[in-house]
Each structure stands twice: as structure tokens, then as C-alpha cells.
Structure 1
Amino acid sequence: MGRTIRNLKSFQVFEAAFAARNVTRAARALNITQSAVSYHIKKLEDEIGAPLFRRTPSGLEPTEAGDELARHVARGLEIIRTGIERLTERPRTVRVALLPMFASRWFSSRIGALLEARPDLNLSIQNHNNSFARMAAPESFADIGFQWGRGAWKGFHVRRLWPERLAVVCSPDYLARHPISRPEDLAACTLLHVDDTRMWDEWFAGRGLRLSPDQPQMMLEDRHFQLSSTINGLGVSLFAAWLVAPEIRSGALVNPFGRSFETSFAYHVIMPRSVAPSEATRAFRDWLDAQCREAPAEA
């Protein structure tokens, strides 16, 4: 038998304090006193033999030990919650981590049919900015989610939705000011991107070129902001071709090369390996598999 856990309540209080970064907010969330929060944190610190938080004027700042304990506590409490829900046979809410632009362009038009087919499923939508796969304790955020990238995320079950093709796009006014007919012409353009330049690096490499360190570029907050910035003439973007098909049809964007390009990037559905998926989560995943047999049309 492993080490005895003396008081589960202390771990629940720690989880709330870690999320709130503030004793007062944690106490309010749990409907207990501030002194009770402090007592349980001190009790854990004495048992572990290390401080879990640094007390600062702005609140609680987790120590290295606090960060590590938080990952284990999140996984452990989620397993307990999942077990209780299954034993009591209550409808399982599937927490879905969604990328806002993917949600608006693909998922939202299909969610009604899913809920009609499976009225027993309750969905809780959690928005993220392509950060789900990088979270310290993703199972505390969502049961299943969508992630853009190459798919090599440790600690997750990963399925690619479909192979993607990328389109280079800009506004008609930007193209008039910056003529583009060859890949080399992009050297004089501002490249727009989210997160990092890996997609542009891959695109240039596929054309036998390298992205210059002096290349004008702008990193934006998310895909929606990138799309509006591209339409407003701030630069050139790479998008999944089907995502910007409506803007190309309307004339808000143009594709100067008139074609799309292969890429190793794609949308994936991912599930944390640290917690066994519930029956409802598996049902949602199976529904996704049926929806993703064909890639969306580019035009």
C-alpha cells in the first residue's frame, strides 16, 4: 500500500488556491473562510516539507514544488470526479477544447445535428488559443480538444482530422502595392503569423528557399485577428485553404499563386492520456471520426 492520504480536503483547497492565485478568491469559490484556506495550505506544506506558494502583495505565486503538485492533484481529482459520475450514472458532460476560428468555420454548423442524435450528451465548450497540448494539466481543462500543428504531442492520444493544404493570401489592395508572382517576391512583404514562423519556414523550404532573419513579419494574437489583419491589408498570411475560401470567393482576399500547397500541419483531435476517456467522450470522438472522412472543400 502506498502512502496514506490523510485529508483529501487539503488537496481540494490547494487546487482552488492554485487556480485563483489568491486566498480570498479561493475561499469564496469553496465557501470557506480565508483562515481555512491558509490552514490547509500550511498543512500540506508541513507534510511535504516544502513551501507550495510564495506570498506576494499581488497574491500567491506557486513555487516549483507547487507547480509539480498541482499537476498531480489535477489528474488525481479529475480521476475521482470521473469515477463518481460513472458510478452514479449521471449524464457525463464532455468538455471540449475548441479553437475559436475552427469552431466558427466548421464545428458550430455541425453541433446541432450531434445534439439531436445524442441528446444524452452535455457539451461544455472551453476556448483556447492553440495551447491545450502545452498545458501542464490538460485533463483539468478539457476531456477532448482540437489542436493545430504537426501532431507530435506527448501525453495525448492524437488523431489527424484530414490532410490540409495551405493557401497564401492577402488583400487585393496589398497585392496591388506589393506585386506577387513568384515565391521570391514575398521577401518584400510583411508575413503575418500566429505563435511562430514554422508554417512559413516549411512553405519557403518547399520552394527551395529560406526565410530570411530580416524578413518583415508580424505575430498576431489568434487566427481571427490574423484574418482581419490580412483583409485590412497588413500583410500576407498562410491559412488552411478551406478556411479562407469564403473570403476568396467574396473578393476580400486573393490568392496570388492561384493554388494551394501541401503541408505537414493539420487540425487534430487530442485526448489526455492521463485520464481514461468516459463513454460520452468516446461517443463524441466517434462522431468526429464520422464527420471527418473528407476534408472541407477549398472553394
Structure 2
Amino acid sequence: MMPEPLPSIPLTAVRAFAAAARFENFKRAAAELGVTPTAVSSQVKSLEAYLGCRLFDRNAQSVTLSDAGRQFSEACDAVFARLDKAVQDVRQTASRTSITVGVGALIGSQWLSRRLFSFWQRFPETGLHLQYSPGGVEFSDGQTDMMMAWGDGRWPGLVSEPLLRFKTSPVIGPALLAGGPTPARPAGLLNLPLLHWKDQHDWLEWFGAMGVETGGRLPGVVIDDSSVLLRAVLSGQGVSLGLLPLIESELQSGQLIRPFSGDFTPSRSYHLVYPPDAMDQPQLKAFRDWIVEEAGVHQP
């Protein structure tokens, strides 16, 4: 035999109780709710009857929460907090007119910026804010919706989707060589100042693929910002691994030199990274679908 369903929870009475519990005063609760103290008292009594327990200890001068009342008050506070957040989230989603995407300087200027007209054609009423983000993946500011990030795809607590895998090659600014010979072998680069992007991982991986022993550690300068790294190489400050499709114009103009033919595909790549609940918002899902399509169509 199926149990009979409980009557609907008396939400008006719960709301009256939550206010009374917060103040431990029916008169102040009534003022907040815009009703009479008698109405608050009546609602609380109906809730006590529904729950089958006393929520307040009453005397002539005051009311105080009982143990059951304190327990139920804490539960109500948690539920109302979640409900309030849900209301804010829904309102924000419904009124959203723009999205914010964190992006590094090089991928932003040399890849994403060249596809903005395509986005506008598809979504003319959605604003797009490209936020300069040279550092790591970070969403704590509450403003960034998604990020294009370079890495291995592992960002705990976040969703990451592979977007673009670029080939790399060592590149040198002519000023660094100062008329001297270009290194003939990969090991010769160890005699030049190495510039690392974010960490030593990519150089270590490249030297390993070339059969050059490094002992797992390399000297050099680590630079987080891809645009600063490129400027340093162009001005002859060191040799770096360049993402070939993003430095095509500098190679064609002779501002950068590739000392070796051939190229290398690193294990790291660009990913689209976002919080797990991002796809609940139609505008963010639309951007995700668009950029994944763009990356597939225009994959170098």
C-alpha cells in the first residue's frame, strides 16, 4: 500500500517563521513582512501543527527558539539562501547581453581577433568582451565566463575542451646572432639564452624530442606574457619556441629566423576552459559551439 503524500508545505508559514526566528520577536518579524504580529503568531502556530513540534518557547515578555526551532531555522536559512542565489542566477542569465572571455595577447591578436566578424554575423545582439589574461586560469573575479588557455587540459574543478594544436619551432631574432653563425644543431641552442613561456616544460620536451640531454633542467628567463616573450625574442634577448601559425608574419619579414627546418608538435595545446555550470547559460553555450566550430574549420 502506497503511503499517503504529505500535504503541501505551508510556504507562507515557513516565511513567517524564518523572519520570527531571525529576530526572535514576532512584532519585528511582522514589520518586515508587512503584516500584524497576530498574523505572524498564527502562521507560526500553523507550522508547528504541521511539523508536530514546538518551534518557540513562549512567555509573557518574549519568545525564544526551541531546539527544534533552531534546527529548522538553520535549514530554512540554507534553503532561502540557495533560492535567492537561484533567482539572481536566472535573472542574470535572462538579462545577459554580453560574455567575457579571458585570452592571452598572442592567441587573441593573431587568431581570435581575426574571427570576430564571424561571431558578430552569427550573434549580432550578443556583446563579446575579450579580457587580457596573460597569467593562469582564474575565475574567482566573478567576471570571466570562459578562457582560452595553453596547457595540458588539466584544470581541477573546471571543464576544458581542446581547441587548437600548433606546431612549434625554435626562433631567433637576428640581433641575437650579431652577424655570427646560426646554430647548426639543436644542442647548439644551449649556448644561447633560452626564453621560456610560463615554465620550462615546452623546451624540455623539445630538446628531448631532438635527442639532446638536458638533465631535466634548463637555464633562462621564464615569461608568462606571450606578447612580452615575442618582443624579447624580436629584440635579440634570447631564443624561444614559437607557435608557428601565430608568428607567420615575423618569419616572412625576416624579423625572426628558424635555425632548423622541420617542426615539432608539443603535448600542450590551447583549450577552452570554463566552470562546470557554464553550459547552463545559452549565450555561453552558443559561444562555445561557435569557437569549437571555428577551431575545427581553421585548424592550422
CA contact (8 A) 1:191 1:218 kept: yes
Moved more, 176-185 or 97-106: 176-185
User: Does residue 289 in structure 1 map to residue 292 in structure 2?
Assistant: yes
Question: For 1:153-209, what per-residue CA distance to the aligned partner results, in whole angstroms no more than 9, with x for missing partners?
Answer: 111221111322111100123244363111110110110113211111111111222
- Alignment correspondent of 1:204: 207
The one-letter code sitting in structure 2 at the alignment partner of 1:241 is L
- Judged with a 3 Å threshold, the aligned counterparts in structure 2 of structure 1 residues 153 and 93 are, in CA distance, closer, same or farther, namely same
Q: Structure 2: where are the runs of 5+ without partners?
A: 1-17, 23-81
1:84 to 71, 91, 97: 91
Secondary structure in structure 1 of the residue aligned to 2:114: helix
Q: How does 1:229-244 map to 2 (within 5 A)?
A: 229-244=232-247
CA contact (8 A) 2:204 2:218 kept: no
Alpha-carbon distance between aligned partners in 2 of 1:243 and 1:97, rounded to the nearest angstrom: 18
Question: For 1:108-166, what per-residue CA distance to the aligned partner results, in whole angstroms no more than 9, with x for missing partners?
Answer: 1211221132112122222211412xx3x447131111000111111122111132211
Q: How does 1:131-150 map to 2 (within 5 A)?
A: 131-132=136-137, 135=138, 137-138=139-140, 140-150=142-152
- Alignment correspondent of 1:265: 268
2:115 to 104, 110, 126: 110
User: Does residue 166 in structure 1 map to residue 168 in structure 2?
Assistant: yes
CA contact (8 A) 2:204 2:216 kept: no
Deviation, structure 1 residue 104: 0.6
- Alignment correspondent of 2:133: 128
Alpha-carbon distance between aligned partners in 1 of 2:120 and 2:246, rounded to the nearest angstrom: 24
- Alignment correspondent of 1:191: 194
Deviation, structure 1 residue 93: 2.0
Deviation, structure 1 residue 226: 0.9
Secondary structure in structure 2 of the residue aligned to 1:152: coil
- Judged with a 3 Å threshold, the aligned counterparts in structure 2 of structure 1 residues 235 and 212 are, in CA distance, closer, same or farther, namely farther
Secondary structure in structure 2 of the residue aligned to 1:208: coil
- Alignment correspondent of 1:47: none
The structure with the largest alpha-carbon Rg is: 2
CA contact (8 A) 1:139 1:275 kept: no
Deviation, structure 1 residue 274: 5.1
CA RMSD of aligned residues (A): 2.9
CA contact (8 A) 1:82 1:278 kept: no
- Alignment correspondent of 1:182: 185
Deviation, structure 1 residue 243: 1.1
CA contact (8 A) 1:138 1:272 kept: no
Deviation, structure 1 residue 295: 4.9
State the TM-score, normalized to the length of structure 2.
0.66
- Judged with a 3 Å threshold, the aligned counterparts in structure 2 of structure 1 residues 102 and 161 are, in CA distance, closer, same or farther, namely same
Alpha-carbon distance between aligned partners in 2 of 1:247 and 1:214, rounded to the nearest angstrom: 29
CA contact (8 A) 1:148 1:266 kept: yes
State the TM-score, normalized to the length of structure 1.
0.66
- Judged with a 3 Å threshold, the aligned counterparts in structure 2 of structure 1 residues 76 and 281 are, in CA distance, closer, same or farther, namely farther
CA contact (8 A) 1:170 1:254 kept: yes
Secondary structure in structure 2 of the residue aligned to 1:151: coil
CA contact (8 A) 1:79 1:275 kept: no
Among the aligned pairs, what percent are the same residue? Answer: 25
